[in-house]
Amino acid sequence: MNYFRNEQDLEQYYTNTNQQLIPLKMNVNEIVTYCTNPIIKPHEKGEYFEWQLFNWLNLNGFTPTKSACRDQHGNIKGDNGIDLFANRLINNQKVKIVIQAKCYVSPRSIVRENVIKKLINCAEKYDAYGILFCYNLNNMDTESRNLILNTPNILMYDINTIDNLVNDLNSLIPITHIKNDQLNLSQPIRSWIKIGSLDNIEQIGNLIIKGSGIRDLEFKTY
């Protein structure tokens, strides 16, 4: 479900063309405060970190899905190398991304090459761009950084650079490149109805609303 901080954020989401969207900034100060709190357990920081990215993707026109594998007691035991899936129109093309998030706050915690190899494999499997999202990109070893820099379609960001993601994808994906699964853009890609108030509702179903005293009705299609 999409949720918005204010009406301006809602308007931005529903009126963009999913191409040149102005990014809504991530709340870096809030993330730092939470993730550096010594009282918070590491797994709680990791979950929080992933949800912060989920919300950022959602507010910036992506359709995200959070992935996690749990045991019989409900404890997270692994995600097979992927924390989030997301897709979005970029230059009128449906683009898929797979994301590995690492909330490594301590300088002693390092993202190593095996993490990047899993990300690369998943990106290839799903024909997607692979994104490494870190708390701090300095918490990477040289091998991991070089592997990303030398692998097409794999990108890396931290909480201070994630707002570059949309522009980076725009520059990577030529507008003239057509994929077989490209959406039919002659049809509306999104529509919504807004009703200010409604009295005496008689029927609601299949987007049919009967009633009296309908006020401030809006319908938009993009």
Give residue-wise pLDDT tens across range 20-45. Answer: 455 567 889 999 999 999 999 998 99
Cβ neighbours for 32, distance < 8 A, ≥ 6 positions apart: 159
- Residue 178 in any domain: the answer is no
- Residue 64 in any domain: the answer is yes
What gap in Å lies between CA 8 and CA 86, rounded to an integer? 23
Q: 136 or 211: which carries more pLDDT confidence?
A: 136
Stretch 104-129: mean pLDDT: 93
153 and 45 co-located in one domain: yes
pLDDT of 129 > 60? The answer is yes
- With beta carbons less than 8 A apart as the criterion, state whether 76 and 65 touch: no
Which residues, listed in sequence order, are joined to residue 63 by a DSSP beta bridge? Answer: 87
130 and 51 co-located in one domain: yes
**Residues 203-216 pLDDT 10s:** 555 545 556 666 66
Stretch 124-138: mean pLDDT: 94
210 and 166 co-located in one domain: no
pLDDT of 222 > 50? The answer is no
Which residues form the domain of 214?
191-221
Average pLDDT of the chain? 77
Which residues, listed in sequence order, are joined to residue 94 by a DSSP beta bridge? Answer: 89
Query: 29 to each of 9, 23, 38, 133, 159, how far by Cα in Å?
Result: 20, 17, 16, 17, 10
- Residue 184 in any domain: the answer is no
Q: 75 or 1: which carries more pLDDT confidence?
A: 75
- Residue 181 in any domain: the answer is no
What gap in Å lies between CA 85 and CA 97, rounded to an integer? 6
Report which of 94, 85, 88 is spatially closest to residue 67, judged by C-alpha positions: 85
Q: What does the buried/exposed string (b/e) look like for 62-90 if buried means 16 or more CB atoms within 10 Å of the residue's CB?
A: bebebbeeeeeeeeeeebebbbbbbebbb
Residues in the chain: 222
Query: 126 to each of 86, 97, 129, how far by Cα in Å?
Result: 11, 9, 9
pLDDT above 90 covers a percentage of the chain that reads 42
Element housing 144 (H / E): helix 142-149
Report which of 38, 90, 36 is spatially closest to residue 61, judged by C-alpha positions: 90
Report how many domains make up the chain.
Answer: 2
- Residue 88 in any domain: the answer is yes
58 and 13 co-located in one domain: yes
The DSSP output letter for 162 is G
164 and 215 co-located in one domain: no
Predicted pLDDT at 90: 83
34 and 92 co-located in one domain: yes
- Residue 202 in any domain: the answer is yes
- Residue 45 in any domain: the answer is yes
195 and 120 co-located in one domain: no
For residue 65, what is the domain's CATH number? 3.40.1350
206 and 96 co-located in one domain: no
215 and 136 co-located in one domain: no
pLDDT-derived band at 2 (thresholds 50, 70, 90) equals very low
118 and 216 co-located in one domain: no
200 and 114 co-located in one domain: no
CA-derived radius of gyration, the chain: 20
79 and 40 co-located in one domain: yes
